[in-house]
Amino acid sequence: MSRIVVHGLEKSYGDARVLERVNVTAEAGEFLSLVGASGCGKSTFLRILLGQEQQSGGVVVVDDGPIVPEPTPQRGIVFQRYSVFPHLTALQNLLLVEDFRSGGPFGRVFGARRRNARQVAEAMLERVGLAHARDLYPASLSGGMQQRLAIAQTLLGRPQILLLDEPFGALDPGIRVEMHELLTELWTEHGMTVVMVTHDIGEAFKLGTRVLVFDKVRHDPQFPSAYGATITYDLKLDRKNRASSLEVAKVAAMVGTARPDSAIATTASQRRP
Partner 1 sequence: MNAVSKAGGEGTHSSPPRPKVRLRMINAKVSRGGALFLGGLPFLFVAIAYLIASAQRLAVNPSDKLLPSPVQMWSAFLDLATVPDKRSGDLILWVDTYASLVRLFAGVGVATLVALSLGIAIGFIPRVRAFLLPFVTVVCVIPPLALLPILFIALGLGETAKITLIAIGVAPVMVRDIANRVMELPSELVAKAQTLGGNSWTMILRLVLPQVMPRLITCVRLALGPAWLFLIAAEAIASTEGLGYRIFLVRRYLSMDVILPYVAWITLLAVITDWLLVRLSQAMSPWAHPVEAK
Least Cβ distance, residue 78 to partner 1 (angstroms): 9
Task: Give per-residue burial for 202-224: e unless 16+ CB within 10 Å, then b.
Answer: bbbbbbbbbbbbbbbeeeeeeee
Residue among 2 and 43 whose Cβ is closer to Mg ion: 43
* Residue pair 126/64 in contact by the 8 Å Cβ criterion: no
Least Cβ distance, residue 102 to partner 1 (angstroms): 8
* Residue pair 207/184 in contact by the 8 Å Cβ criterion: yes
Whole-number Å distance between alpha carbons of 136 and 158? 24
Q: What are phi and psi of 19, to 5 degrees?
A: -125, 145
* Residue pair 194/160 in contact by the 8 Å Cβ criterion: no
Going by C-beta distance under 8 Å and a sequence separation of 6 or more, which residues neighbour residue 125?
A: 90, 91, 94, 131, 133, 134, 152
By CB under 8 A, is residue 204 in contact with partner 1? no
Q: What are phi and psi of 271, to 5 degrees?
A: -100, 130
List interacting residues with ligand ATP (CB under 6 A).
13, 18, 36, 38-44
By CB under 8 A, is residue 255 in contact with partner 1? no
Contact partner at residue 18 from ligand ATP, Mg ion, partner 1, none, CB < 5 to 8 Å by partner kind: ligand ATP
Least Cβ distance, residue 122 to partner 1 (angstroms): 18
By CB under 5 A, is residue 2 in contact with Mg ion? no
* Span of 39-47, 136-144, 170-178, 216-224 interacting with Mg ion by CB under 5 A: 39-47
* Cα-Cα-Cα-Cα dihedral sign, residues 117, 118, 121, 127: negative
Least Cβ distance, residue 81 to partner 1 (angstroms): 7
* Cα-Cα-Cα-Cα dihedral sign, residues 191, 160, 185, 132: negative
Least Cβ distance, residue 163 to Mg ion (angstroms): 12
Q: Which of residues 140-199 bind Mg ion (CB under 5 A)?
A: none
* Residue pair 60/4 in contact by the 8 Å Cβ criterion: yes
Using DSSP's 3-state secondary structure scheme, residue 8 falls into strand
Going by C-beta distance under 8 Å and a sequence separation of 6 or more, which residues neighbour residue 54?
A: 48, 69
Site track 100-119 with partner 1 (rule: CB under 8 A), x = hit: xx-x-xxxx-----------
Residue among 94 and 204 whose Cβ is closer to partner 1: 94
Least Cβ distance, residue 188 to partner 1 (angstroms): 22
By CB under 8 A, is residue 76 in contact with partner 1? yes
* Residue pair 263/254 in contact by the 8 Å Cβ criterion: no
Least Cβ distance, residue 209 to ligand ATP (angstroms): 21
Judged by CB under 8 A, which of 6, 9, 50, 201 binds partner 1?
A: 50
Contact partner at residue 2 from ligand ATP, partner 1, Mg ion, none, CB < 5 to 8 Å by partner kind: none
Give Dmax over CA atoms of the chain in angstroms. 65
By CB under 5 A, is residue 43 in contact with Mg ion? yes
Residue among 36 and 103 whose Cβ is closer to ligand ATP: 36
Residues that bind Mg ion (CB under 5 A): 43
Residues that bind partner 1 (CB under 8 A): 50, 52, 70-73, 75-77, 79, 81-83, 85-88, 96-97, 99-101, 103, 105-108, 137-140, 153-154, 157, 159
